[in-house]
Amino acid sequence: MSIFQKVAGIKKLPILLVLIYLAALPFMFAVKRDRPNLTFNHLEMYDDISALMQVEFRFRKLLDAVNEYRLHGSDSAREEILFHQEILQIRTQDGPTQKWDTSDLPQGGSMSVVETLPRMVDLIGTEVKQYLASNDPDQGRRLADKLQAYLFEFNSELIFLSDFSNQTARRQEINLVGNVQRDFNFLFAINVIMIAALSIFAYVLTNKERKLTERSKEVIESEEKSAAKTKYLASMSHEIRTPMQGIIGVTQILSSSDLKPDQKKNVGLIATSASTLLAIINDILDIAKIEAGRMDLAPSPIDFRQTIEETVQLCSSIAVEKDVDLTFSFSPNLPENIHADGTRLKQVLLNLCSNAIKFSAGQVSGRKGAVDVTFSANEAGRAYFEVSDNGIGMSQEVVDRLFSPYTQASADTSNRFGGTGLGLTISKQIVELMSGRIHVRSEPGVGSTFSVDFPIKKIVTHEHKVDLEHQAVIGYFDDPKEAGNLSGHIRTANGVYHDAQSYQQVVDLLHTFDTPPVVLLQHAISQTLLDNMIRITESNPRVHFIVLASEAVPELTLPANCTVLDTKPLLPSNLLDALQNSGRTEARGVPVDIPELIAPTEIQRRNRILLAEDNQINQMVLRTQLSRMGYEVDIVGDGAQGLQKWTSSAYDLILSDCNMPVMNGIEFARKVRAFETEQGRNETPIIALTADAFEEQKVECLEAGMNDFLIKPTSIEELGDKLEFWLRNVSPQNKKVALVN
């Protein structure tokens, strides 16, 4: 809540007090005022006089109807008699005065007619029925006389009761008037107290409002400073990213050239340093977004398992480099497709995994480092994952301040392990934006476990990436937990899974299938395993083996009907693909590598690209990259030159920087789209290439008419994918990019 809202809430309090005061006035009068000394019967009598007057009115109407029917005998008069008779019976059925105490009346008062009112109604009702049945004029005259006599007596007593009630009301009025002065004095005292209270409150409110005004000025100044800091960090990030584009671009160009081994090693060191520097820049920018409250999620439909597996594969390369065993488990009970921000989810998992690998046991104690990533579904509608390591661990004091920016476990942690201490702070912010929770358990010398749970919105789809078509699978596992997890994925993909507890049981199960089954073995590669596979193959030559092992044995030659899958980590998609391709010859053994360099076709060579970029180094880098990918490229230094070049020549695509002198990329894109609309030309794809990584920049580019967005420094793979998609509407199937030496 803002300060101005708080002030507005305080100002409403006097109004609330006045309303409470006004609402309490009737209560105060009721407490202080003396009531007249009247019995319950008197008060009840006041209410019943009006009812008796209604009864008298109905009797008069009944008398008029009887006379009308007696003189003219019309049907309407007959109906009216019956109507008034029914109304009288309803009004007198409870006896409006039966509870009256006649002792309350003054001497000389009579209640004979009123007390016998229900009986009189019944009697008259009987005679009315007889008269209507006989239609005798004499009987009608007698009935009219009886009604007339009754009304006369009833009217007399009603006048008496009215006079009595009026006298009682006057006595009550006199008593009430006598209390007016006392009520006035009481009300005056209350008003004085109320005015004094409001005066004190007004003084307190004035002081409070003055302090809040001062506080609001401080908040505004703080927000302005924060905005200035964010702008400065964004500008600094932009200025750093621009030369980073040149560093990474030249490094990628050099890596694809013919270099000596020591030169390739040096280029690799440059690439690693550039990637590390870029990660630090990204962390600084994310912290700036968090401090400015501008970090938002962009949820969209994603393949949940594929998103996680891509991140685990990236972490796997880091784990191999650090000699750390990385294991992965993804519950088959989790949905395959969800609505979430896949990029931010990857960022959280990558931060936690890279930290776990960095601080694993092999880095400190000499033990083999191990990291375990587990995704499970503990409850419906939520995903839960843990990243555990057997590393150096942390004390409770460090855990308590772990998610603060720039926090490291100790003063020399950054020197020993690297990093800025921003990753966990960013991860916590992202998890909270996802309405999730992040926790950590750690023990020095034992290891740490980071757990995250967050809500997920499942997307129902009937498409399955892998369909095993009832493929029979026999599994013999050392780890029952791993068996339960992988068998769930097999059944989800329409496979038929059977569990075996020994090699002999595998042989026995093979004879129960008509189609060639697949035997899934989780055992270390050894001569014993090889002998058992040969024995099983002799009993069923059509069998195919998939061995889950972390290390190969070079001196052992596995049979041709065997596929080995690395379990550090084992991805469910790799297992399902191996099962689906188990009957193909090319699927057995080592997969065929995708060639590093793919020659472009003649159609690719003819694609013309207009590049608008003001930085000369980036011009050189992008020209080289685009030329090696087989594109013809023309380069301009600003949007005005680009517009002139584009209107005079035909280009298949425009690649434009956003921040350029004379005319920036945003204005350049607007003018291109306006010219296309005016001239009726087909739309030219425009891809923004900018070092500004804020979301507002992306939105501004798309609103200006650009088709896509690349953030500097961009890798040659990302650039190639974007060009491939927009020039030929082809989604990239792999990350290999066409380069020509």
Residue with tokens 């921040």: 659
CA 109 to chain centre: 80
Residue with tokens 């399902």: 576
pLDDT of residue 653: 94
- Sheet containing 300-303: order of strands: 300-303, 337-340, 457-458
Q: Is the peptide bond before 405 cis (omega within 30 degrees of 0)?
A: no
Look up the pTM and report it: 0.57
Question: For residue 726, which amino acid is it?
Answer: W
H-state helical runs in 680-740:
695-703, 716-728
621: Cβ contacts below 8 Å, ≥ 6 apart: 245, 246, 249, 250, 253
The rounded distance, in Å, linking the Cα atoms of 300 and 288 is 24
129: Cβ contacts below 8 Å, ≥ 6 apart: none
pLDDT of residue 37: 46
What does each C-alpha distance from 332 to 329, 339, 594, 684 come to in angstroms? 9, 18, 30, 44
The rounded distance, in Å, linking the Cα atoms of 147 and 236 is 108
Residue with tokens 């809500």: 455
Query: With the C-alpha atoms ordered 488, 491, 492, 495, is the resulting torsion angle positive or negative?
Result: positive
The rounded distance, in Å, linking the Cα atoms of 13 and 16 is 5
Per the structure block, which two tokens stand in for 568?
Answer: 């550090």
pLDDT of residue 129: 79
The rounded distance, in Å, linking the Cα atoms of 613 and 688 is 11
Is the distance from CB of 98 to CB of 53 less than 8 angstroms? no
What does each C-alpha distance from 450 to 329, 355, 356 come to in angstroms? 15, 10, 9
Q: Quick one: DSSP state of residue 37?
A: -
Q: DSSP secondary structure string, 282-311? A: HHHHHHHHHHTT------EEEEHHHHHHHH
CA 5 to chain centre: 26
710 sits in which H/E element: strand 708-711
**164 CB-side CA count, 13 A:** 22
Which residue in 78, 569, 687 sits closest to 316, CA to CA? 569
Is the distance from CB of 285 to CB of 234 less than 8 angstroms? yes
The rounded distance, in Å, linking the Cα atoms of 555 and 281 is 47
Weakly modelled stretches of the chain, pLDDT under 70:
1-48, 93-116, 119, 163-183, 226, 229-238, 276, 287-289, 291-294, 361-366, 405-421, 461-464, 552-555, 583-606, 693-694, 729-741
Query: With the C-alpha atoms ordered 207, 213, 214, 215, is the resulting torsion angle positive or negative?
Result: positive
The rounded distance, in Å, linking the Cα atoms of 384 and 371 is 17
The rounded distance, in Å, linking the Cα atoms of 165 and 181 is 26
Residue with tokens 């302090």: 211
Q: Quick one: DSSP state of residue 516?
A: P
Is the distance from CB of 36 to CB of 174 less than 8 angstroms? no
Q: DSSP secondary structure string, 105-120? A: SPTT---HHHHTHHHH
Which residue in 82, 47, 35 sits closest to 61, CA to CA? 82
pLDDT of residue 600: 44
pLDDT of residue 464: 60
Task: Provide the 3-class DSSP secondary structure of residue 737.
Answer: coil
Q: Quick one: DSSP state of residue 512?
A: T
Residue 484's φ and ψ, nearest 5 degrees, are -65, -40
Cβ-in-10-Å burial (0-12, 13-18, 19+) of 352 comes to buried
The rounded distance, in Å, linking the Cα atoms of 480 and 478 is 6
Which residue in 51, 30, 36 sits closest to 168, CA to CA? 36
Q: Quick one: DSSP state of residue 362?
A: G
pLDDT of residue 233: 65
Per-residue three-class SS string for 162-217: HHHHHHHHHHHHHHHHHCHHHHHHHHHHHHHHHHHHHHHHHHHHHHHHHHHHHHHH
pLDDT of residue 134: 81
Is the distance from CB of 295 to CB of 289 less than 8 angstroms? yes
pLDDT of residue 588: 35
pLDDT of residue 47: 54
pLDDT of residue 363: 57
Residue with tokens 């042989």: 507
The rounded distance, in Å, linking the Cα atoms of 565 and 574 is 8
The rounded distance, in Å, linking the Cα atoms of 58 and 83 is 10
Q: Quick one: DSSP state of residue 434?
A: T
Q: Give exposure, 116-144, as e/b (b: 16+ Cβ within 10 Å).
A: ebbebbeebeebbeebbeeeeeebbeebb
